[in-house]
C-alpha cells in the first residue's frame, strides 16, 4: 500500500497497523493521526491514508512543520487554503481573532491593514498582549501569527484605509473581511471594494456588542456576494460595551464564512 507519513510517500506491506508503522518510521512518536483524526496504535492502515506521527513536546523542523500543523485538518482543505489570499480590513476585536483563526487554518497569505496601536482597553477582547502595548496592531499581530504558523505569509499595512487606497492594499485578496469598528467605515469599505471588484466576496461584521445570547449571532447573505455576520442590531454604544465572548463568536462566524468561500461552499447553508 501507498501511504503518506508526515508528508513523505511510503510504499509499505498491506495490513499494517498505525503502531507497527510508527515503530518502523518514528518509534518515539506518541500521537498518531490518520486522515485528520487521532487513532489508537492498533488501527489498520489502508492504501491512500495520510498518517502523521508526532512526539509530544518535540519542536519539528521547518520541513515537517507544515504537515504537522495541519494534521487535524479535514484532508483536502490545506491544499486549497495554502494557495489563498485573504484581506482583513481592521485588526481590532474581530480582525485579530479572524487573522489568528485563518493562520491556524493554514491560509497562505493574509493582508492585514489598520492604523491603530495596541492600548490597554483593547485587551478585554482583542488578541494582543500587555507587552505589545504601544505597538502598531498590524505589527504586533504579524509577530503573533508568525509564532503560530510561520508558513503563513503576512502583509502588514500600517495605514488608515480610505476609499482611495483600499483597492490597492487589497488588490490581491480573493475574499475581503470587513472588521472595522465604525458603521460608516464598514459601509465605505463595502461600497468601495464592491465597485472595484464586484465578483469578490466581502464578509462583514455587524452587531456583536454586549452580552446578549450568542445564538442571535448568525451568518447571512445580504446581497450578491456580501455576507454579514452578527445580530445585525446591537451597536457598541454608551452602556453597551464590546466583550470577548460575543466579539469572538462573530469573528469566528466571519472566519468560517471565509473558509467555506475558499473551499467553494455556501457560507450560509449546507449545500457545497
Partner 1 sequence: MEISFNGKPRELPQSISIQELLDQLQLDCLQVVVEHNRNIVTRQRLAEIHLHHGDTLEVIHFVGGG
Binding site for partner 1 (CB under 8 A): 90, 92-95, 179-184, 186-187, 190-192, 194-195, 198, 204-209, 222-224, 226, 228, 230, 232-237, 242, 247
Q: CB nearer to partner 1: give 51 or 99.
A: 99
Please give the biggest Cα pair distance in the chain: 68
Structure-derived torsion over alpha carbons of residues 72, 45, 263, 66, reported in degrees to the nearest 10: 50
Pair 65, 49: CB distance under 8 Å: no
Q: CB nearer to partner 1: give 2 or 240.
A: 240
Concatenating the DSSP letter of every residue in 71-138 gives TTSPTTHHHHHTT-EEEEE--SHHHHHHHHHHHHHT-SEEEEEE--B--GGGTTTSS--GGGTTSBHH
Closest separation between CB of residue 206 and partner 1, Å?
A: 5
Q: CB nearer to partner 1: give 158 or 220.
A: 220
Q: CB nearer to partner 1: give 51 or 209.
A: 209
**3-state secondary structure (DSSP) of residue 209:** coil
Q: In angstroms, rounded to a whole number, what is the distance separating the alpha carbons of residues 88 and 106?
A: 15
Closest separation between CB of residue 272 and partner 1, Å?
A: 23
Q: CB nearer to partner 1: give 70 or 234.
A: 234
Cα dist. 249→230, 242, 254, 268 in Å? 8, 12, 9, 15
Q: CB nearer to partner 1: give 61 or 239.
A: 239
Q: CB nearer to partner 1: give 123 or 236.
A: 236
Closest separation between CB of residue 22 and partner 1, Å?
A: 46
Q: In angstroms, rounded to a whole number, what is the distance separating the alpha carbons of residues 80 and 84?
A: 7
Closest separation between CB of residue 167 and partner 1, Å?
A: 13
Q: What is the CB-side half-sphere exposure of residue 145 using CA atoms within 13 A?
A: 30
**Angle formed by the axes of helices 244-262 and 93-105, nearest 10°:** 40
Closest separation between CB of residue 237 and partner 1, Å?
A: 8
DSSP 8-state class, residue 17: B
Amino acid at each position: 500500500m501507498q501511504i503518506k507519513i508526515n508528508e513523505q510517500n511510503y510504499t509499505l506491506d498491506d495490513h499494517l497497523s498505525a503502531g507497527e508503522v510508527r515503530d518502523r518510521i518514528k518509534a518515539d512518536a506518541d500521537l498518531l493521526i490518520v486522515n485528520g483524526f487521532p487513532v489508537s496504535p492498533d488501527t489498520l492502515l489502508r492504501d491512500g491514508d495520510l498518517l502523521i506521527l508526532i512526539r509530544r513536546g518535540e519542536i519539528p523542523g521547518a520541513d515537517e512543520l507544515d504537515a504537522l500543523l495541519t494534521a487535524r485538518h479535514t484532508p483536502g482543505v490545506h491544499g486549497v487554503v495554502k494557495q489563498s489570499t485573504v484581506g482583513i480590513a481592521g485588526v481590532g476585536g474581530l480582525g485579530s481573532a479572524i487573522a489568528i483563526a485563518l493562520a491556524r487554518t493554514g491560509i497562505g497569505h493574509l493582508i492585514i491593514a489598520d492604523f491603530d496601536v495596541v492600548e490597554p482597553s483593547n485587551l478585554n477582547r482583542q488578541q494582543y498582549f500587555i507587552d505589545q502595548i504601544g505597538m502598531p496592531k498590524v505589527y504586533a499581530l504579524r509577530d503573533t501569527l508568525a509564532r503560530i504558523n510561520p508558513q503563513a505569509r503576512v502583509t502588514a499595512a500600517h495605514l488608515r484605509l480610505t476609499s482611495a487606497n483600499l483597492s490597492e492594499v487589497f488588490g490581491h485578496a480573493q475574499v475581503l473581511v470587513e472588521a472595522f469598528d465604525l458603521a460608516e467605515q464598514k459601509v465605505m469599505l463595502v461600497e468601495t471594494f464592491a465597485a472595484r471588484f464586484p465578483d469578490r466576496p466581502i464578509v462583514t461584521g455587524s452587531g456583536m456588542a454586549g452580552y446578549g445570547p450568542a445564538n442571535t449571532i448568525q451568518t447571512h447573505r445580504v446581497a450578491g456576494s456580501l455576507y454579514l455576520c452578527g445580530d445585525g442590531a446591537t451597536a457598541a454604544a454608551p452602556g453597551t460595551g464590546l466583550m470577548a465572548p460575543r466579539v469572538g463568536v462573530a469573528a469566528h462566524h466571519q472566519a468560517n464564512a471565509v473558509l467555506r468561500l475558499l473551499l467553494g461552499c455556501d457560507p450560509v447553508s449546507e449545500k457545497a
